């Protein structure tokens, strides 16, 4: 293409050779696509994207997602060549302990890596989330600027492989991307016909370009094997990208035919180049083909590096120009500027907590999902950065703040959901896995605070994305309602049994199951204050009594943020006749009921409400001892799910009231009785434990 | 259509009214699609499908999958009208405790229900699995019959909703179905533009028919709203099905435009009809529109029922004709007949276990994934019904029995994988979720015994399907390899940490993690003997030493099937200085190493290998006490994963050696050291526990 020099060509070839060297050195990795995609990544990083290596967090930058995370060396080499801070020694340390260049790109670990990828398909959905976040950000800060003329306009680029295309999560996200008319998104699909099991004909024969056209994407095919001879027609690819950016009412899909590992002489076009080192002979042969000295490793011509590091100047200039635009904008947008700064710092509006609703004691009560809906409605005016929606269960998950507009292209509005491109209520369709990954993409894009809801049982469908929220430590909130057999008639496929316990096992995920409406508000408050971790908010379908607060011996909700607290001590204290009942969510009422019964028998009962075990685990020993004294061995846990790791809490002498089998289709209240969740069974367990 | 009488029309309308009545009676459910899809389901069950209500397990029957399981009453009403054993009282008991008509169809619970559906998208993938199973069955029994002329030829029909189409799992399965050229599969997509959040424009705007054409399906669109007026053109639908059956080299996709809840006067075409009872007024109004007495409920004209129950005669005749064909076939296929009978009874070839390989003691050892591959290779000739593959990780999961042909249309073979339409090695592509659901479909179809592999960390992607294996109690085997940080350089996204523990929480799933090659063979043997439960086989990437067996104090592998056994008692027995170390998989070697060290210090150590906690839990008290005596309180568990529920085993005095955070990208052996999995840490934990 215009302006492409011999130094660019040499830089691309240097990248191929470095990729081969790096994988060869550690002895394992994925050299094939790094070699053949070198010109693609180089074109993006050096010629197409607006970014500044010196300031990787500049909010005005374009974003890049390497959905095929196994090709991490592709990304690292661009960060090295462009000057993000990676040096040759980092490339040499690929995939080794403590390096900046781990096997898959890790968010927060290496400057310039926008998001953790590796589990295939996630990256495409992440990119969709970023594109949505960019539009929401623009809508919050600069909605009236003409198209393409706002400083908040930027582009999202995603590079994907066959595996990304095969995974269902990418199908979900891609369909939604077209519905959402994400004109700021470009997806480049590296169609090389090789995956780990060899030629993809055995498992992938669809016309993917036609599939994306069917979703409603703008689709271009670039065939580097056109006419039978392989030619890396970089200009054709650049033209496709330029054309795609001009299409602003649809995302752009570029299907690029490549030959994996080209021009590696004997391993190109084979799965042998996908996930293994090429071998020293082949690396040497590759170097010969490209005119490099086969005896040298990690050899970079200083002229090449000087050329590519020129990106630092170009990037600084781009940011300076942007800053000028920003300053001009800020002059007439004081309120917007304040919001912008708050968003960049991930700081909530001061005083936002005052808006939280409270509920009076009420034996009939409300469902915690309804309480959560009230919280979202109350917070919406104060926290414009808080947005989210549901996977087609809005009215069940109570994820829609009342009166707020939907995030929808004008022509996609419905009678039920009005809105516009800058709205805040998200409609994911019945696509839980994409929802999770989109939330991750939104959050790492920066600026806003997203949440998404579905039935708890379908957390199974999105677990791959939830794990990545936790691994990346991004504060995404999952709203999982209908949290037990209390769901009722829809039966065992829809009744979570093992889910609360199994989500607790994901390192870094806070699992929060409030006991009543006021605990729900306090849970949301605690979750929103955390900036470095995701949470799953586990909510009831059925009404739960609202506990009196700060009266009659009942605690306030202050202890919620500590994960567990003494809700109330019942009966007179006799150390030999004291039992602690620990409960979560809808079962706290059973603990209270059992305590009242036992107190009448002269037993002292402490009821501990434990909305979040992770938060409780982080308290100091003194607090934990004050809630659950080591000396009291008689303990009962109650949770309408599997016993999981409750033995950790109740100890050898304790009893666990749980359900370790599937539910049934019937009225929820009846199921609680049939499956042994009653005050009687809890009281009986307490007596046994004493 | 031809032969369609007024009684048929009245039967369809009766079904609509019964659906409205049934949901109204229980007060909740999904009447809308049951009302509008009544003619579709009726056409299938009464006019199209070959089946026999009196013998719901007749292997020659066509299969029906209601992917939109929430419309269960659609299915129940066909089973009632056709005479599968459901009566009016069962319809009246919809969604209530103990009924045969639960909220979602449940496999094994109601005659005529082929598979449990409800979690959306699964059913489409299940149907793909059934279609594959039908082809494999034909290949095993009658490969040389001309197309369409074998008694083993039958059809798979699947009915799906917008939600099924949105879920990624259906995209995965649908792409693969076209690659596999499943001409025996027909998918009818009920396009009604209404989901729970109202008009689907807010989340689904793709051209789904074009998408299926892009996959390579034969696609027909039937528009009952053609010309603007709604007319249930049953003939057009029947024609589309007839045409689809003639297309034998591709699956058939029929996009059917309907109006949900039509002709319900005020609720048709609204989400109000989707997931709630219509209300008494609307039910009465619907009855009026259809010419039924609005004051009567559950009113069925005996003439209608007599007409529809005529299916019993037609079904019996169909089966009799089939039986004649079967007898003719059996006359000249004695061997085939024996295999057929074995397959129908789910009985393995007598003596199959003799083929299992054994390994001699070897400190260097082999990876358990490699041992598993050897087992599959050894069993392949004896167990033709055992088949499976991988989600594009065949060479990593070792799921390919050596020398066996792939299950692939002739034109889809590759250089690496030769085979044919009747092969046995499956290639799922990078589609874990669909793989799980396809395995479920294969197994409930009957006849064969499937398995599927991927990396353990990606069990997260398929959890929705795994849960259904367990809920249905179908003996599907999941082969999950690369089972810990031992995976190494690919880093935290690929290293399972919480997965072994979290899979154990799924009720009814056996999680089996063998410690060496011989335990792997014994695990496969135990798994294959179970006919009523799925298993996850958890295998190492890295080599594990092969323990001596039946010598030097080491036990044989006989105890594997009991879930846990004493591998060896080390040191002299002093009750006060005895510790039990319980380990699984790759950590058993650490337990042995620690035991050897401790024995030198005068401590008696019992090493318990615990490949499957579920199997151990099922042993009687005496056996369990013999392995882990209650009196010995000093206990240590070692597993390279989260602590999970290990406290249940080790008790208050015990120690748990675990990893409760994410891994890192580096050499696997180094990670074991860095993260505290060494003989030293295990020995130290034992000393602490003493």
CATH of the domain at A631: 3.40.50.920
Rounded-to-integer distance, Cα A190 and Cα B170, Å = 23
Rounded-to-integer distance, Cα A65 and Cα A133, Å = 14
Contact B168 A433 (CB under 8 A): yes
Contact A414 B202 (CB under 8 A): yes
Partner residue facing A660 (CB), from B196, B501, B507: B507
Max Cα–Cα distance, chain A, nearest Å: 90
Contact B214 A210 (CB under 8 A): yes
Count the helices and strands in chain A (H runs, E runs): 26, 22
Residue B165 CA: distances (Å) to CA of A115, A419, B30, B124, B507: 29, 25, 18, 9, 28
Q: What is the DSSP code (8-state) at residue B405?
A: P
- For residue B489, indicate whether it is catalytic: no
Count of A–B CB contacts within 8 Å? 367
- DSSP per-residue codes, A98-149: T-SS-SS--TTTSTT--S---STTHHHHHHHHHHHHHHHHHHHH-TTSPTT-
- Chain-centre distance of CA A253, in angstroms? 23
Quick one: tokens of A145? 């600027």
The CATH number of the domain where A131 resides is what?
A: 3.40.50.970
Helix (H, G, I), strand (E, B) or coil at B388: strand
Rounded-to-integer distance, Cα A116 and Cα B494, Å = 12
Angle at CA A123, nearest 5°, toward B175 and A341?
145
Rounded-to-integer distance, Cα B456 and Cα B397, Å = 10
Which residue in this structure is represented by tokens 């526990």? B689
Is the C-alpha dihedral spanning A206, A208, A211, A215 positive or negative?
positive
Find the mean pLDDT for residues A72-78.
98
**Whether B469 contacts B125, CB under 8 Å:** no
Is the C-alpha dihedral spanning A531, A532, A534, A537 positive or negative?
negative
Residue A573, pLDDT > 80, answer no
Which of A275, A406, A429 has the highest number of chain B CBs within 10 A, making it the mutation to test binding with B? A429
Considering the domain architecture, whether residues A378 and A267 belong to the same structural domain is answered as: no
| Radius of gyration, alpha carbons of chain B | 28
Contact residues, chain A, for B202 at CB < 8 Å: 179, 406, 408, 412-414, 417, 427
- Closest chain B residue to A101, measured at CA: B665
- Name, in order, each residue with C-beta under 8 angstroms of B9's C-beta and a sequence gap of 6 or more: none
Considering the domain architecture, whether residues A494 and A624 belong to the same structural domain is answered as: no
* A197: in domain: yes
Domain count, chain B: 3
3-state class percentages of chain A: helix first, strand second, coil last, to nearest 5 = 45, 15, 40
* B81: in domain: yes
Around Cβ B332, how many Cβ atoms within 10 Å?
8
Q: Note the pLDDT of residue A572.
A: 76
> Any CB–CB contact under 8 A between A473 and chain B?
no
Cβ burial of A291 (10 Å; 0-12, 13-18, 19+) is exposed
Rounded-to-integer distance, Cα A416 and Cα A665, Å = 30
**Whether A366 contacts A539, CB under 8 Å:** no
Q: Note the pLDDT of residue A377.
A: 98
Which domain does A63 fall in, by range? Answer: 6-316
Domain boundary among A512, A544, A576: A544
Quick one: tokens of A509? 């995920």
CA distance to partner chain B, nearest, from residue A491 (Å) = 6
> Any CB–CB contact under 8 A between B666 and chain A?
yes
Partner residue facing B172 (CB), from A26, A168, A434: A168
Is the C-alpha dihedral spanning A242, A247, A250, A256 positive or negative?
negative
Which residue in this structure is represented by tokens 């950590």? B587
**Whether A178 contacts B442, CB under 8 Å:** no
Contact B430 A163 (CB under 8 A): yes
* A550: in domain: no
Rounded-to-integer distance, Cα A420 and Cα A402, Å = 16
Considering the domain architecture, whether residues B611 and B675 belong to the same structural domain is answered as: yes
Considering the domain architecture, whether residues A253 and A381 belong to the same structural domain is answered as: no
CB burial string B535-563: b at 16+ within 10 A, e below: bbbbbbbbbbbbbbbeeeebbebebbbbb
| Radius of gyration, alpha carbons of chain A | 28
Q: What is the DSSP code (8-state) at residue B263?
A: T
Q: Note the pLDDT of residue A576.
A: 77
User: Which residues of chain B carry a pLDDT beneath 70?
Assistant: 573, 575
Strands, E, within A14-89: which ranges?
Answer: 63-66
> Any CB–CB contact under 8 A between B333 and chain A?
no
Count the helices and strands in chain B (H runs, E runs): 26, 22
* B333: in domain: no
**Whether B608 contacts B567, CB under 8 Å:** yes
Cβ burial of B296 (10 Å; 0-12, 13-18, 19+) is exposed
Strands, E, within B167-265: which ranges?
Answer: 185-191, 194-195, 198-199, 218-223, 252-257
Quick one: tokens of B242? 């007839």
Q: What is the DSSP code (8-state) at residue B426?
A: E
- Closest chain B residue to A432, measured at CA: B167
Rounded-to-integer distance, Cα B271 and Cα B446, Å = 37
- Name, in order, each residue with C-beta under 8 angstroms of B610's C-beta and a sequence gap of 6 or more: B563, B564, B582, B583, B584, B616, B649
Q: Note the pLDDT of residue B573.
A: 66
Residue A574, pLDDT > 90, answer no
Considering the domain architecture, whether residues A303 and A367 belong to the same structural domain is answered as: no
* B127: in domain: yes
**Whether B562 contacts B528, CB under 8 Å:** no
- If contacts are CB pairs under 8 Å, which of residues 165-224 in chain A contact chain B? 166-172, 175-176, 178-179, 195-208, 210-211, 213-216
pLDDT digits (tens, 9 = 90+) for A640-690: 999 999 999 999 999 999 999 999 999 999 999 999 999 999 999 999 999
Please report how the helices A311-331 and A334-345 are oriented relative to each other, as an axis angle in degrees rounded to 10. 130
Contact residues, chain A, for B162 at CB < 8 Å: 430
Determine which one of A432, A519, A587, A639 is catalytic: A432
Quick one: tokens of B576? 């006060």
- If contacts are CB pairs under 8 Å, which of residues 113-132 in chain A contact chain B? 116-121
Contact residues, chain B, for A197 at CB < 8 Å: 390, 392-395, 416-417, 427
- If contacts are CB pairs under 8 Å, which of residues 255-294 in chain A contact chain B? 271
Considering the domain architecture, whether residues A519 and A565 belong to the same structural domain is answered as: no
pLDDT digits (tens, 9 = 90+) for A316-361: 999 999 999 999 999 999 999 999 999 999 999 999 999 999 999 9
Of B393, B398, B416, B396, the closest CA to residue B406 belongs to B416
Domain boundary among B508, B527, B544: B544
Of B547, B114, B640, B558, the closest CA to residue B353 belongs to B558
Residue A163 belongs to what H/E stretch? helix A162-166
Determine which one of B114, B172, B282, B432 is catalytic: B432
Contact residues, chain B, for A491 at CB < 8 Å: 95, 102-104, 106, 118
Quick one: tokens of B495? 């290293």
Around Cβ A377, how many Cβ atoms within 10 Å?
17
* B322: in domain: no
Which of B197, B198, B425 has the highest number of chain A CBs within 10 A, making it the mutation to test binding with A? B197
Q: What are phi and psi of B51, to 5 degrees?
A: -160, 170
Contact residues, chain B, for A102 at CB < 8 Å: 491-492, 664-665
Considering the domain architecture, whether residues B465 and B484 belong to the same structural domain is answered as: yes
Contact residues, chain A, for B28 at CB < 8 Å: 488-489
* B327: in domain: no
CA distance to partner chain A, nearest, from residue B349 (Å) = 30
- Closest chain B residue to A97, measured at CA: B666
Give, rounded to a whole angstrom, the gap between the first and last alpha carbons of chain B.
81
**Whether A677 contacts A587, CB under 8 Å:** yes
Residue A210, CA atoms < 13 Å, CB-side half-sphere: 14
Contact residues, chain A, for B119 at CB < 8 Å: 457-458, 460-461, 493-494
> Any CB–CB contact under 8 A between A137 and chain B?
no
Partner residue facing A178 (CB), from B198, B206, B416: B206
Find the mean pLDDT for residues A310-318.
98
pLDDT digits (tens, 9 = 90+) for A22-59: 999 999 999 999 999 999 999 999 999 999 999 999 99
> Any CB–CB contact under 8 A between B409 and chain A?
no
- Closest chain B residue to A429, measured at CA: B203
Considering the domain architecture, whether residues A97 and A203 belong to the same structural domain is answered as: yes
Q: What is the dihedral of CA B80, B84, B85, B90, to 10 degrees?
A: -30
Domain boundary among A290, A316, A342: A316
Rounded-to-integer distance, Cα A340 and Cα A140, Å = 9
Considering the domain architecture, whether residues A120 and A24 belong to the same structural domain is answered as: yes
Considering the domain architecture, whether residues A158 and A281 belong to the same structural domain is answered as: yes
Contact residues, chain B, for A204 at CB < 8 Å: 175, 179, 429
* B37: in domain: yes
> Any CB–CB contact under 8 A between B242 and chain A?
no
Considering the domain architecture, whether residues B440 and B565 belong to the same structural domain is answered as: no
Considering the domain architecture, whether residues A308 and A393 belong to the same structural domain is answered as: no
pLDDT digits (tens, 9 = 90+) for B279-335: 999 999 999 999 999 999 999 999 999 999 999 999 999 999 999 999 999 999 999
Quote ipTM for the complex.
Answer: 0.98
């Amino acid at each position: 293409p215009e302006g492409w020099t011999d130094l660019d060509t040499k830089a691309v070839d240097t990248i191929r050779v470095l990729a081969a060297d790096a994988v060869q050195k550690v002895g394992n990795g994925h050299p094939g696509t790094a070699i053949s995609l070198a010109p693609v990544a180089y074109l993006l990083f050096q010629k197409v994207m607006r970014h500044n290596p010196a300031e990787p967090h500049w909010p005005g930058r374009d974003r890049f997602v390497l959905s095929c995370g196994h090709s991490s060396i592709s990304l690292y080499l661009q960060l090295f060549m462009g000057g993000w801070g990676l040096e040759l020694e980092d490339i040499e340390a690929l995939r080794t302990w403590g390096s900046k260049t781990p096997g898959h790109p890790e968010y927060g670990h290496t400057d310039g890596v926008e998001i953790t990828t590796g589990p295939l398909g996630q990256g495409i959905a992440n990119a969709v989330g970023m594109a949505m976040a960019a539009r929401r950000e623009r809508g919050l800060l600069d909605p009236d600027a003409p198209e393409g003329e706002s400083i908040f306009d930027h582009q999202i680029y995603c590079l994907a492989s066959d595996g990304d295309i095969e995974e269902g999560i990418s199908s979900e996200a891609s369909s939604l991307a077209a519905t959402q008319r994400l004109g700021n998104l470009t997806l480049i699909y590296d169609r090389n016909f090789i995956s780990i099991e060899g030629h993809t004909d055995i498992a992938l024969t669809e016309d993917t370009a036609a599939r994306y056209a069917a979703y409603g994407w703008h689709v271009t095919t670039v065939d580097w094997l056109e006419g039978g001879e392989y030619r890396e027609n970089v200009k054709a690819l650049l033209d496709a990208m330029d054309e795609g950016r001009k299409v602003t009412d649809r995302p752009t899909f570029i299907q690029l035919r490549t030959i994996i590992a080209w021009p590696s002489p004997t391993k190109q076009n084979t799965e042998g180049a996908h996930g293994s080192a090429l071998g020293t002979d082949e690396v040497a042969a590759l170097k010969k083909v490209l005119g490099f000295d086969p005896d040298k490793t990690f050899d970079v011509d200083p002229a090449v590096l000087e050329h590519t590091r020129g990106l630092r100047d170009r990037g600084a200039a781009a940011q300076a120009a942007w800053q000028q635009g920003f300053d001009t904008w800020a002059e007439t947008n004081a309120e917007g500027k304040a919001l912008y700064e708050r968003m960049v710092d991930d700081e909530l509006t001061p005083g936002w907590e005052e808006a939280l609703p409270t509920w009076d004691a009420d034996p009939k009560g409300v469902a915690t999902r309804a309480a959560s809906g009230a919280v979202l409605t109350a917070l919406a005016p104060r926290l414009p950065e808080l947005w989210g929606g549901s996977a087609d269960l809005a009215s069940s998950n109570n994820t829609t703040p009342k009166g707020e507009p939907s995030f929808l292209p004008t022509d996609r509005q419905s009678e039920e959901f009005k809105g516009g491109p800058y709205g805040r209520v998200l409609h994911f369709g019945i696509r839980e896995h994409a929802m999770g990954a989109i939330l991750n993409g939104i959050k790492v894009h920066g600026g806003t605070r997203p949440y998404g809801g579905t039935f708890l049982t379908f957390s199974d469908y999105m677990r791959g994305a939830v794990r990545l929220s936790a691994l990346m430590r991004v504060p995404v909130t999952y709203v999982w309602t209908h949290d037990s057999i209390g769901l009722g008639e829809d039966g065992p496929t829809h009744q979570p049994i093992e889910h609360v316990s199994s989500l607790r096992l994901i390192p870094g995920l806070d699992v929060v199951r409030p006991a009543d409406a006021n605990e729900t508000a306090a849970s949301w408050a605690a979750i929103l204050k955390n900036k470095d971790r995701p949470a799953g908010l586990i909510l009831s379908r059925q009404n739960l009594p609202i506990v009196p607060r700060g009266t009659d011996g009942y605690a306030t909700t202050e202890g919620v943020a500590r994960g567990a607290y003494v809700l109330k001590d019942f009966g007179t204290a006799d150390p030999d006749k004291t039992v602690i009942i620990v409960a979560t969510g809808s079962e706290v009422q059973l603990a209270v009921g059992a305590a009242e019964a036992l107190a009448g028998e002269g037993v002292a009962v402490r009821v501990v409400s434990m909305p979040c075990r992770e938060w409780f685990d982080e308290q100091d020993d003194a607090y934990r001892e004050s809630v659950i004294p080591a000396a009291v061995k008689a303990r009962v846990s109650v949770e309408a799910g599997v016993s999981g790791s409750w033995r950790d809490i109740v100890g050898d002498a304790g009893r666990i009231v749980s359900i370790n089998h599937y539910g049934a289709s019937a009225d929820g209240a009846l199921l609680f009785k049939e499956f042994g969740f009653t005050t009687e069974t809890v009281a009986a367990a307490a007596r046994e434990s004493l």
